[in-house]
Chains A and B, each alone.
Chain A
Amino acid sequence: MFSARWITGMAAIAAFAFAISAGSAADQKKAEKEQPRPVSVDPKLQEYKETGEVSGGIKSVGSDTMNNLMALWGEGFKKHYPAVTTEIEGKGSNTAPPALIKGTSNFGPMSREMKKAEIGDFEAKFGYKPTGLRVAVDTLAVFVNKDCPVKELTLEQVDAIFSKNRKGGAEKEIKTWGDLGLTGEWADKPISLYGRNSESGTYGFFKEHALFGGDYKDSVKEQVGSAAVVEAVGKDKYAMGYSGIGYKTEDVRAVPLKAKGAEKAFEATKENAYNGDYPLSRALFLYVNYKPNSDLDALRREFIKFVLSKEGQEIVIKDGYYPVPSTMAEASLKSVGLGKK
């Protein structure tokens, strides 16, 4: 009797271990994806210079898209100021405004701009609007499995795949890969759709720009994190999903996208993001509670300076996103009173 219990106990432990090891395998895969990219930061960006002693805690609540980015920035910042502690929570951009308002965070990373209602709530408490700094550039990508032969998609097609309203103007709904012109074994396979949960800024941005404000089909499987979307697309051969480009792994491929009325489809690259050819390029924001005409406290001031420095933007590249051009960085610094004197 004892032995039987022991065996089942061991089985349970084995299952645990298996689960954990599979989880860490996924982490490893993420680490592998960080291959060198031919992207470099704007040479006009400032170098980061340490100034005096900075201590305190960076508390960030918000975007999941920027979760790794915030963590990496936090680590980089700690190298300069070991006394600083970091606490980073990324459950979706929708969680950023409430945390900033309640004061439970001092940074609110968001992958979309704040809505009027959110700004209104903030203003009702503080009397001024929150300040959004553009700290990185993302090309929101439509991912397919690496084995998928799809060459490119128009935004109207993306809309007809993901949306039930088809506000982009496509005549017919796209349900199977055959509807996209694929043949053979792909022709009759339905497209398995993955997306983010509604707390996510990526969800909102994609809805506004790829679905033209239409509604998602009910069959889009909502995942709690961007990593889960990419993971699912990598595991499901007939899947399609969207997430920030920073979460790309070797199992998925970002499809070139063609805007309405554009001549051709564009890859999700830095150049195409900067000049707006890639239709789903966006800025990633770091929202702060900055009282106008005042000075930021040392911690937030130095962190923002760090994020928008060469070093901070190198980290952006390391995480798979694109750095901001120096003009954008300058404008961001200026909006919190840190511009060049």
Chain B
Amino acid sequence: MMALQPRNTRRLKTRWTVRAAEVISKLVITAGGLFTIVAVLTVCVFLILTILPLFKSAKIGHELQTSMALPPSALLYFKVDEYQTTACAMFADGEVRLYCLEDGSVLDSARPFEDAEVCAVSSLGKDDGVAIGFADGSLRIGKLGFVSSFVKDEDLNESLRELVPGKAVKFGKGLVTLTPQGLYRLAILDAEFGDAIPSGSAARVVHVDYTTGPAGPVFCALTDDGVLYVKTRKLIRKNEVTGEEVYKITGGKLQLPSREPDALPQFLLLSGLGDSAYAAWTDGELLRIRTSNLDRLQVVEELNLLEDSQAKLTAFQFLNGKTTLMAGDSLGRLRAWFTTHATVARGDDGLSLTMAHTLPAADSPVVSLSPSSRTRMLAAGYADGTMRAFQVTTEQLLAQSRTEDAKPLDHIIMAPGDDGILAINTQGLSRWSFNPAYPEVTMRTLFLPVWYEGAARPENVWQSSGGEDAFEPKFGMMPLIFGTCKATLYAMLMGVPLALLAAVYTSEFMHPRVRAIVKPSIELMASLPSVVLGFLAGLIFAPFVESHLTAALAVLLTMPLSFVIGGHLWQLLPESRRIVLGRWRLLFICFCLPVGIVSALVVGPVVEKLLFRDPSGTPNFRGWLERNWGSAVSGWVVLLLPVCAAIIVFFIANSVNPRLDTFSRFWSRRRNAWLALAKFLVGALATLLLSFCLAQGLAAFGLDPRGSLVGTYVQKNSLVVGFAMGFAIIPIIYTIADDALSAVPAHLRSASLGCGATTWQTAIRVVVPTAASGLFSAVMIGLGRAVGETMIVLMAAGGTPIMELNIFNGFRTLSANLATEIMGPPEGSTHYRVLFVAALLLFGMTFFVNTLAEAVRLRFRKRALQL
């Protein structure tokens, strides 16, 4: 062209449009690239900014002292309302008072029991319920708390109209506060007690405790003659017209042993379900009493909470939920105990009380404890006037402060909203504002085993929310990370060999015309949305595999075998025929596919019959997996087959083939084909034999694959996900691998073939090593896809956050967890932020894998260019 237009040869300047286009495209590309980097960084920064508050420490305000009008008789009960404006108290002389917290004045007072002496009061914990024990041996249960309502506009008086938000004013017998939203909230005393319930004796009641079990209220009392009474109240009739309720009270009693130096226990607690009572003496001796059968109260466990004799038990209280016991002693130590199902139970009921947490110790005796009513926090008051707040699960000291007067904090109260801590001593009331931040989460609880309530040992658990206030959130990331790795592993096991071998086959052996059809069709597989794959896997494939389990597993064996045998049979065809039929070779191989499937249907049940027969003689593979019967040998034989096959192949290639070659190289092609077939059959037999011997050996060492590699069969399991996700990652691995192989310069192939190597030798010894880094990057990109894959694991993996290698059970990945849970938690909550930790982890994992893949790919491109 140029030669025909000599005029143009002289114009050396590029046209301005071209230059402009160049500049513009350069700008656009740079901007695009920068934008991508900025976008990725923004995501990263956003994730980190959301997570950071999790590690903020708790804040405690300055002490606020108020003098309080306290009567001479002892304070037995003190409760603060959730807005921290009023408090109600009960004293030993039976007086009930409503206090204004701002100035400590008394708003209302009452004497509901006239002159009866109150000896013990216990609160229900979750509501306003209280149980009261009297000197005459009677009990009452009732309500002592607050009623809050809103003052109607027409009832507002002068003093209320002048109220500013945050301030309170007396109104009748109650207190009115103006909320920031402009509502006048009135709090009044709510004290309502039922009829006296005789404990059964006239002895003075020393301790009471009260709870609501599944079948109604349960309460217990200890009288000063050492008898424990446990009672339940059941509603038997309710008059719909008058609203009158008739209750039936049933109960049982138990004489507690008398001990020295204190005859009576110092503490009595009743568990949240009302099924056990705990009586503790000051020397740390504790009795656990089973109260689920009221006709037969029974001491089931006896132990000492303080191993060293010089310490005294000075505070004993439940944590929220009334299951975990907190024991504080005179040495300033605070420890958490709960019952667990230990392997060797100390108690007669199969449970043992176990010390699970030790909180940071102080120098002064613990004198009072108060659990939070919605979380696992605990406020403790010490004899030297120190107040400390803990998170029990994480064993963290969240905050501490000390009163100026340094008098013992006889009563400490964690405000119902966890937003304040109050303490009462002889000097009056001390208040601290409190912001616990996110105490449930530390680096340790995210990634290391944590001892959760009721567990026998510290564990990695993910259980993010429950429907009740007493729920202990479990934010262990490990099960999710493990699930992600497990999903990736099985998907890679399934997808990588298929995709890589397919790439080698299409690029090296397949006729280009066929390849032009095959490659795009495999790439088209990638367009299948993963939700469809997940749907097929979870709802169709999983039940199918479950009902044809042995056949499905046998396919993994018979499929490759049928292809190999097919290949050998092809070699056996007479040369003339083979050349004529050459173009149908692929079709012939395809024929092996149904053969493999059909033979699996036959082989599977046969293997099950041979190896996995239950004691009654029926084949039962799933039963064998349960580990109740049968030996480990049969499982090992099957599991070791691939390993043994690899060993045998290696052995034949390295030791047998060179020797055979010395004389078989002069044989006819047909004879060589027979030899190859014989070699294959002998090899197969040898594999079987070897795996059997190895299995015997492993089993003799007491190793059993059940419980680790295999185990209980679950319908939605890793095998199913492996198939489905393998299917999802095959196209991407295949495409990149095929491109890498095709990029190997043709002159290398020509040289190899020219030297007399076969296509196979060329492919394996020349092409694949040259393209190795490309193949590696293909695998890594497949890995990146598998790590982040969501829909398939969501629909087909069952979603159980467990950490077991077992291929026959499910798992939960980081991505599936995000997909199920991100909708639930309110923005800014602990759970919400922890989910962002999961997101960051996922981001980190895929980012790392993809970057690695890209780095390797770049290197490979450079090398390929040099060739």
Contacts and interface: CB of A to CB of B under 8 A. Distances in A.
Q: Do the two chains belong together in a single complex?
A: yes
Interface of A: 1, 4-5, 7-9, 12, 15-16, 18-19, 22-23, 91-95, 97-98, 101, 112, 115-118, 120-121, 126-128, 155, 164-167, 169, 171, 176, 188-190, 192, 197-199, 201, 203-205, 207-209, 212-216, 218-224, 231-232, 235-236, 239, 259-261, 279, 291-293, 327
A155 B273 CA distance: 14
A221 B799 contact: yes
A39 to B, nearest CB: 21
A22 B453 CA distance: 43
Interface in B420-471: 452-455, 461, 463-471
Indicate the size class of the contact surface on chain B: 35 or more
B827 A204 contact: no
B539 A235 contact: yes
Given A5-B521, A112-B467, A120-B82, A219 B800 contact: yes
A188 B620 contact: yes
Contacts, number: 199
B102 interface: no
A198 to B, nearest CB: 5
A115 B470 CA distance: 10
Contacts of A7: 521
A203 to B, nearest CB: 7
Contact of B469 (A23, A115, A293): A115
B466 A207 contact: yes
A22 B215 contact: no
Nearest to B716: A221
Nearest to B803: A218
Contacts of A93: 467
B467 A127 contact: no
8 contacts: A98-B825, A115-B374, A116-B374, A128-B179, A199-B824, A207-B467, A222-B820, A235-B539
Contact of B528 (A12, A167, A203): A12
Given A167-B273, A293-B152, A116 B469 contact: yes
B454 A197 contact: no
Contacts of B823: 91-92, 95, 199
Contact of A127 (B185, B474, B546, B827): B185
B517 to A, nearest CB: 4
Contacts of A201: 467
B814 to A, nearest CB: 15
A120 B417 contact: yes
Given A5-B520, A92-B824, A204 B150 contact: no
Contacts of B321: 213
Given A22-B539, A91-B824, A101-B826, A188 B626 contact: yes
A176 B626 CA distance: 9
B150 A221 contact: no
Given A112-B467, A218-B801, 19 more contacts: A8-B525, A12-B524, A92-B823, A94-B824, A115-B469, A116-B373, A116-B374, A116-B469, A190-B626, A198-B821, A204-B471, A212-B273, A213-B323, A215-B461, A218-B479, A223-B799, A224-B794, A236-B715, A293-B153
Contacts of A120: 82, 374, 417
Interface string B813-835: 00000001101111100000000
A121 B622 contact: no
A87 to B, nearest CB: 15
A218 B800 contact: yes
A128 B466 CA distance: 24
B150 A128 contact: yes
Contacts of B465: 94, 198-199, 204
B341 interface: yes
B826 A261 contact: no
Given A207-B467, A215-B463, A221-B716, A166 B799 contact: no
